[in-house]
């Protein structure tokens, strides 16, 4: 509401009441790019080193992270090692097409930082991995060599704090995984295999952390699923059982939900929590199946599992000398 009032004042003071309509609706993307780049060039030219320094000291979005950098670097290394045998690493661009996040996720478009008329700063790398996986699946179909695509990335996202799960500051480091393929002849085989693969990577990271000197308390996984016949039993046998055998110290539960994972995941989503030294739980990872590949490729048989671990949150929880809660 405050932002709307301010916008009204801005438009009135500028003397161009239809300025937003002109920029958003009347200009072509190329023309809007030209206007924004020239606006940026002129405003940047007026800035002095003193102006820049003052803003650097007062804008939390450009300040370095307060997270223990040593712990974060260790977690990044552990994440890379945990994923390397199955997931192809991708160094995604810091910008993505305009609307890439909001068109797929539930994040409001206003939560992303615009980079130009046709781009925005990446605020959720799950969607960008989905785009890359869709591009690879599309190319493979062109040559009739379609196969399952498995991608991983370490990325520092830029976002408004309220807009993204697991994030609490203006920019934060995350580790994300993506598995894209299509339904197999045997029902739920792709889904259960993909879940075990991705959860094994996340739990493998957590299992390796203590050996690197990071204190990880009790870890728990909750699998949220829709009320589909035999789905709960299938998850218990094909996901919970093998993961419990591989990670006996981890508590793994299944839970039926009308709104899977309290978000847009369906038919299965998951959350991972860890305890700190004071046995306070912190949610550090989220994942689940989405219809993003179906939307991007217009192929109903496409399946996609995405997940993200907030390594910055995890670093705050497990870094040597970390407090109970951050």
pLDDT in tens, 54-70: 988 888 778 888 888 89
> Per the domain annotation, does 154 fall within a domain?
yes
Q: What is the pLDDT of residue 241?
A: 97
Q: Are residues 210 and 299 in the same domain?
A: yes
Mean of the per-residue pLDDT values of the chain? 85
Residues 37 and 86 grouped into a single domain: no
Determine the structural domain holding residue 9 and report its residue range.
2-46
Q: Does residue 33 sit in the same domain as residue 121?
A: no
Q: Is the residue at 59 inside a domain?
A: no
Give the mean model confidence (pLDDT) for residues 100-115.
Answer: 71
- 324 assigned to some structural domain: no
Tell me, yes or no, whether 35 lies in a domain.
yes
Higher pLDDT, residue 264 or 86: 86
Q: Give the pLDDT of residue 102.
A: 80
Which pLDDT value is given to residue 300?
A: 92
Same domain for 183 and 256, yes or no, is yes
- 164 and 28 together in one domain: no
108 domain residue, yes or no:
yes
Read off the CATH number of the domain in which 296 is found.
3.30.930.10
218: in domain:
yes
- The predicted pLDDT at position 166 comes to 62
222 and 94 belong to one structural domain: yes
Whether residue 90 sits in one domain with residue 157: yes
CB atoms within 10 A of CB 51: 10
For the chain, the domain total comes to 2
CA distances from 90 to 70, 93, 279, 290 (A): 23, 9, 35, 20
Using left for φ > 0, alpha for ψ between -120 and 50, and beta otherwise, residue 194 falls in alpha
pLDDT at 238: 96
Decide if pLDDT at 145 tops 90.
no
**Quick check: is 56 in a domain?**
no
Q: Are residues 213 and 265 in the same domain?
A: yes
Question: Measuring CA to CA, how many Å separate 292 from each of 15, 47, 98, 273, 303?
Answer: 42, 42, 16, 25, 8
245, 282: one domain: yes
Question: Per residue in 241-290, pLDDT tens?
Answer: 999 999 999 999 998 876 654 557 889 999 999 998 888 899 999 999 99
Is the pLDDT reported for residue 311 higher than 60?
Answer: yes
172 backbone dihedrals φ, ψ, rounded to 5°:
-155, 155
Q: Is the pLDDT of residue 92 over 60?
A: yes
**Would you state the structure tokens that stand for residue 260, as one six-digit string?**
């899977």
Nearest to 283 by CA among 259, 313, 320: 313
**Higher model confidence: residue 163 or residue 181?**
181
Do residue 156 and residue 216 come from a single domain? yes
Sign of the Cα torsion 295, 297, 302, 307 reads negative
For residues 38 and 73, membership in a common domain is answered with: no
Q: How far is residue 127's CA from residue 135's CA, in Å, rounded to a whole number? A: 12
pLDDT over 90 (residue 41) = no
Q: What share of the chain is helix, strand, coil (3-state, %, to 5)?
A: 45, 20, 35
User: 164 and 218, same structural domain?
Assistant: yes
Kindly report whether the global pTM for this prediction surpasses the value 0.75.
Answer: yes
Domain membership flag for residue 152 = yes
């Amino acid at each position: 509401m405050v932002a709307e009032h301010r916008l009204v004042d801005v438009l009135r003071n500028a003397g161009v009441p239809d300025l937003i309509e002109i920029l958003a609706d009347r200009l072509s993307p190329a023309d809007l790019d030209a206007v924004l780049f020239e606006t940026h060039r002129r405003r940047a030219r007026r800035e002095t080193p003193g102006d820049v320094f003052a803003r650097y000291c007062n804008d939390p979005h450009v300040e370095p992270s307060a997270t223990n950098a040593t712990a974060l670097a260790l977690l990044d290394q552990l994440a890379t090692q945990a994923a390397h045998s199955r997931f192809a690493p991708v160094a995604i661009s810091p910008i993505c097409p305009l609307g890439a996040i909001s068109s797929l996720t539930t994040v409001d478009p206003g939560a992303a930082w615009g980079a130009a008329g046709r781009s925005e700063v990446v605020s959720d790398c799950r969607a960008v991995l989905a785009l890359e996986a869709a591009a690879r699946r599309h190319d493979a179909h062109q040559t009739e060599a379609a196969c399952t695509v498995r991608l991983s990335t370490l990325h520092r996202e830029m976002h408004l704090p309220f807009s993204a799960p697991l994030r609490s500051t203006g920019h934060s480091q995350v580790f994300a995984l993506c598995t894209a393929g299509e339904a197999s002849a045997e029902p739920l085989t792709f889904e259960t295999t993909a879940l075990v693969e991705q959860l094994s990577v996340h739990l493998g990271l957590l299992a390796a952390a203590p050996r690197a000197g990071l204190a990880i308390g009790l870890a728990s996984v909750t699998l949220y699923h829709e009320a589909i016949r035999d789905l709960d039993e299938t998850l218990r046998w094909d996901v919970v059982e093998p993961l419990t055998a591989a990670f006996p110290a981890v508590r793994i539960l299944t839970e039926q939900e009308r709104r899977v994972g309290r978000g847009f995941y369906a038919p299965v989503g998951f959350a991972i929590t860890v305890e700190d030294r004071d046995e306070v739980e912190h949610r550090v990872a989220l994942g689940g199946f989405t219809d993003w590949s179906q939307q991007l490729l217009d192929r109903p048989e496409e399946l996609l599992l995405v997940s993200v671990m907030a390594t910055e949150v995890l670093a705050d929880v497990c870094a040597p000398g970390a407090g109970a809660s951050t």
